[in-house]
Structure 1
Amino acid sequence: MIEWVDPVILGLGLVVAVGAFVQSSIGFGIAVVSAPFVVVLRPDLMPTSMLVCAFVLPVLQLASGPREILWRPLGWAVGARLAVTPLGVWLVASTSTDAIALAVGILILVTVIASVVVVDIRLTRGSAMGAGAISGVSGTAASIGGPFFALVLRHEPPDRLRATLAVFFIAGSTMAIGGLALAGAATWDQLLAGATWIPFVVLGHLVAGPVRRRLPATAVRRGVLVFCVVASVGVIGRTLLL
């Protein structure tokens, strides 16, 4: 059971704010940054609490920023994600929190490697559907579904990439939360934790506006990658050693 004044929940809220800042800056990242801390400190809150945040933030992004959206590739990715989401729901319902934690750590490392290694993935129907399918599993089971579609969109202008990803996150989070609820794998504590973190999501999004215009994009991105590597290694180590 969670409490509104629980220091762990509030501390995780600050991490969520950092994740919201990162996503508002580069298009994705709230779950990549926040999920490792949630799985270490409160694994019982995964993945629904993070999915609530992953729904709220893109709504804020679309409400306050450009809405130049690539609808056709988005439709391909969302369709594939919808088809595969039941597999992600099944994984959450049938596996332990330690297994989900390990999956989170591995997915973050894969994300970092894919971000560092120059992989020239072009935007096609196949690549969009492939990214959507992977996200249907990873986004539902571990709340991390954005990096794969982001790689497909990486050659698009930043505003178009962020807006398209935002709609993808809204659709994907809705599918995942709905599927988990139908399977009985989404608890009230998870939903309440996600609702508790909404003000922190808003804070991170608001701070990102003026700050991202002053910080070099390359420096921010490198810092995030280092941060994610440390966090993911910590999660993997904790899962395997305990």
Structure 2
Amino acid sequence: MKIAIMQPYFLPYMGYFQLIDSADLFILYDNIQYTKKGWINRNRLLRNGKDFTFSLPLKKQSDYLDIRDRSVADNFNKQKLLNQIKEAYSKAPYFDQIFPLVEDIINYKERNLFQFIYYSIQKICLVLGISTQIRKSSNIDVDHTLKKQKKIFTFCNAVGAETYINAIGGQKLYSKEDFIERGITLKFIVPELNAYPQFESSFVAGLSIVDVLMFNSTELIKEAMLGEYKLI
């Protein structure tokens, strides 16, 4: 079995979904501390040929809470965000097909941050034809106080994983030799995110999956773009 583990991100870039697709089981962290400067509740879209950042506003709570204990703000103006997306992509070739999906995700009534993002990931995976099983980290019986490699080892052992796939940024954090000693193969995923037409402007890479969906057919994404990565 191949597994990957990642914290939840709201409408992340294509590489995130390639990571999910590369595994048989995707473990989604819900019981780790929320990081304010990360990408958990924000991402980037295209507007007027440039990237702009959008975010889910959060209720004022302790910065030490886990992701599953944080909440979306009660005054989150969903229509404002939808209007921004509509303004940015109304002339995109697949706007009519994709905007209802975006509306469904943003209008989701859940206020819990993890559940809100979890729903969006499931909906995107369904559209992209990704059949990987997704489990919450807190539902797996391991010692959740462990850190870094030790925690990864326990997850692998708990679910019977033979291969662990990590984002390429983890090369400095994890040792293939340490994994081999425990009978686990460590692989790193390297997304090959090729340019695609974005109106008439220069290509802006690494934007939210929403951008990919607005400019490319789901058939092309499923058959080609989703598999544009290598494991090393």
- Fold shared per TM-score above 0.5: no
TM norm structure 2: 0.29
Work out which structure has the larger RCO, using CA pairs closer than 8 Å and 6 or more positions apart in sequence. 1
TM-score by length of 1: 0.28
The structure richer in strand per residue is: 2
